[in-house]
Structure 1
Amino acid sequence: MDSWVRFNSQSQAKEKVFRAAQYSCMLLGSTLTKSRAASDLQRIVSDLEAHMSLTRKLLRLGNSVEALQAAKRAIHLSDGVLRLCITIAHLNRAMYFACDNVLWAGKTGIISKLDHHKWSQRSFRYYLFALILNVTRNVYEVCLLLDGEDRCRSTKLSSSPSDVLPDDRLSSSSAVPATSPPALMFARLRRLMGQVGAVLYNNPPLLLDLLKNSCDIFIPLDKLGLYRTGPAFVGTCGLLSSVLSIVTMLHPWLKLKP
């Protein structure tokens, strides 16, 4: 089992390269359609995209095994929220890869009379649910880091001596003009966004994973018809998330753990 996982991890790098090429073809095909380029060129790009997709499906054969192994490891996490999100996300990824393998068998003729639309929709539903759980995990980790910073800041404030007497604080606060509720809410929102930005900036793996999942989630939303964005936007999101995945493979310390 472990030897298969190691072998499969090598093919994943190739799959990400083909994924970037596939969504580049999708983006290029959309651009050619808008610019009303020659139909022969559009057909060549479309065929190339289809071949890239079929090659990716071939490289993903057996990925369900790795996803199940990852789910088994995630069961032992101490944090309940992370354990739930990561485990169920890996299980949905395993089902997504299984449906993808069936689609590959149907497109290559191994399984005849396969309902490609039905299986494609089924695979994208599993993919979407896995991405939703991944984004939930990212937001939860951001909240944990923000809570840790708030507690650290409150500890420093309580431990530092104050040179201002209570009466001085009262007089100084009474001299401050009252702020309207909308302005106060905007100030709090701006402070929160600044804290989130600082947390993500100081945690590159979390930032890259959040960006990758946020880009990927538009792909199943478009394919399932839940939120139509068009091939140009889907191609851009797919290309960006593929590049981010390749970066995390080239630099393993940028991969979010666990």
Structure 2
Amino acid sequence: MASIASQLVLHPVTSQSLRVLNTSAGRDKLYRGLQYLARFLAWLLLSRGYKIQAARWDALKSHLALGRKLLRLGKFMESAQAVLRAIAAPGETGERVTLIGRQVGYFAYLLLDNVAWANNIKFYNLQPSTAQKLNKRVMQFWFTGIVFSIANGLLKAGRLANEVKKLQGQTWNEKSAEAERDLKLHNLQLTRESVRYQFVIDILDVWIPATAIGLVNLNDGVLGVFGIITSVMALRQQWFAAAGKK
């Protein structure tokens, strides 16, 4: 029995899980997945008339959301740095503009989210009407950031596709040059996969703030499923990052 327990505790998957959860991003993605699972279950139970059970999951959802705000304290500075780097970096104009728009949107979203957290824990008290406007503004900036991210992904995907076609259409006489081309193609394909992966996350996530600000009217069941899917996808990225993989 002790041997089985030892194998479980020291198993590589356990060690890898601990490496992921040792990072703020890893914990945030796990909590996010649980938050949207709770959101979905609360909706499902309430739609079937189980009000007491639904209230339990709704409370878990709210507390996880509040806890995740704590993990994001000061994170707006990462977006501020990303804005400055994007302004200074060379590249396609459309991609740079959409990247800057994305990071500005996330900067405002995360900054105001910190203010909302301070109000939620009663560290700084806002009038209910002001708090409501603040929460809506948070969602508006989140929505803006995701929309710019989607536009950036489309532009980048188009450019990468053209680069792949250009390389595939070239012929090489020397094996060394051909090997170099194959390496470039491989790297381009990896980048394209990464862009597509993020695009799927964005195209699902965008409905969450869009519903919050009233642009669409999806129920908590649908939004919960979307949130679960994108959380698992993001957690997968953290898993490979912790393993040293791209």
* Same fold by TM-score greater than 0.5: yes
Matched, 1:132 2:113: no
Q: How does 1:104-119 map to 2 (within 5 A)?
A: 104-114=117-127, 115-119=130-134
Q: 1:204 to 1:33 in 2, by over 3 A?
A: same
SS at match of 2:90: coil
Matched, 1:215 2:216: no
Aligned to 1:44: 56
SS at match of 2:23: helix
- Is 1:103–1:116's contact at 8 Å kept on the other side of the alignment? yes
Aligned to 1:225: 214
- Is 1:106–1:112's contact at 8 Å kept on the other side of the alignment? yes
Aligned to 1:93: 106
Distance, in Å, in 2 between the alignment partners of 1:119 and 1:134 is 23
Distance, in Å, in 2 between the alignment partners of 1:84 and 1:149 is 23
The amino acid that maps onto 1:220 is P
Q: How does 1:102-251 map to 2 (within 5 A)?
A: 102-114=115-127, 115-152=130-167, 203-251=192-240
Q: CA deviation at 1:251?
A: 1.4
Distance, in Å, in 1 between the alignment partners of 2:194 and 2:165 is 21
- The structure 2 residue matched to 1:82, chosen from 95, 98, 115, is 95
Q: 1:65 to 1:153 in 2, by over 3 A?
A: closer
Aligned to 2:71: 59
How many residues align structurally? 205
- Is 1:200–1:207's contact at 8 Å kept on the other side of the alignment? no
Distance, in Å, in 1 between the alignment partners of 2:200 and 2:221 is 18
Q: CA deviation at 1:202?
A: 8.1
Q: CA deviation at 1:246?
A: 1.0
- Is 2:75–2:110's contact at 8 Å kept on the other side of the alignment? yes
Q: CA deviation at 1:72?
A: 1.9
Distance, in Å, in 2 between the alignment partners of 1:251 and 1:229 is 32
The amino acid that maps onto 2:99 is I
Distance, in Å, in 2 between the alignment partners of 1:82 and 1:98 is 24
- Is 1:205–1:254's contact at 8 Å kept on the other side of the alignment? no
Distance, in Å, in 2 between the alignment partners of 1:214 and 1:36 is 32
For residues 93-146 of structure 1, the C-alpha deviation after alignment (integer angstroms, 9 at most, x for no partner) is 111011111111111111113422101110111111110110001111121123
Quick check: 146-155 or 62-71, which moved more?
Answer: 146-155
Identity across aligned pairs (percent)?
A: 21
Q: Which runs of 5 or more residues in structure 1 are unaligned? A: 1-8, 157-198
- Is 1:32–1:42's contact at 8 Å kept on the other side of the alignment? yes
Distance, in Å, in 1 between the alignment partners of 2:151 and 2:218 is 22
Distance, in Å, in 2 between the alignment partners of 1:238 and 1:151 is 38
